[in-house]
Amino acid sequence: MYKSALVVLLLLIITACNNGDDVKSFKSEDVHYYNNEIQKGKINHEQWTQSPLLIINHLLGPVHNVEGNDHFTVELNQDSVNVVTAIITQEGLIDDSVTGERRIIEFFLEDSVWRIRSIKLGFRCQKYRGHEIYSGEICS
């Protein structure tokens, strides 16, 4: 059963990302900081800990540029009653090499607390600074 759930999850991720994205190369981010913040918020009965979307907005919400063409999107996929996969994309970053970041976050509900199981991070490079798809490879 675990193997078939993993296949479905990978299909959802691949479908949600652009066909050319190199999702397999995305870098793993450490989830400990985020889970510690969620736990602190839950202990303090803070409302942002009640759902994956609220957690994303609180911990990973967009840093809006005062210039440029930025946008922030979140796509949530309910994988099961206790598992949600989020795809967060921020584009138009003011950076000389990176124009966008995409995170794929898997949340799970345990003991009435949403936690993060994994975060995968990919980058899209500025024109002539490397790949123009989302990939884990660093831009030049």
Tens digit of pLDDT for each residue in 2-14? 343 443 344 444 4
The CA distance from 120 to 6, in Å, is 15
Whole-angstrom Cα Rg for the chain: 16
User: Is position 134 within any domain?
Assistant: no
**pLDDT band, residue 63 (cuts 50/70/90):** low
**pLDDT band, residue 94 (cuts 50/70/90):** confident
55 pLDDT above the threshold of 90 = yes
42 pLDDT above the threshold of 70 = yes
Q: What is the mean pLDDT of residues 47-74?
A: 82
**pLDDT band, residue 20 (cuts 50/70/90):** confident
What pLDDT is attached to residue 70?
A: 75
- Average pLDDT value for the chain: 86
User: Is position 109 within any domain?
Assistant: yes
1 pLDDT above the threshold of 50 = no
Find out whether 136 and 111 touch, Cβ atoms under 8 Å.
Answer: no
Nearest to 9 by CA among 121, 106, 101: 106
The 10 Å Cβ neighbour count of residue 122 is 24
User: Is position 88 within any domain?
Assistant: yes
| Number of domains the chain is built from | 1
User: Is position 140 within any domain?
Assistant: no
User: Is position 111 within any domain?
Assistant: yes
Helix, strand, coil share of the chain (percent; to 5):
30, 35, 35
Q: What is the pTM of this model?
A: 0.81
Length of the chain: 140
Q: Domain limits at 57? A: 2-125
Helix axes 32-43 and 52-60, enclosed angle (nearest 10):
110
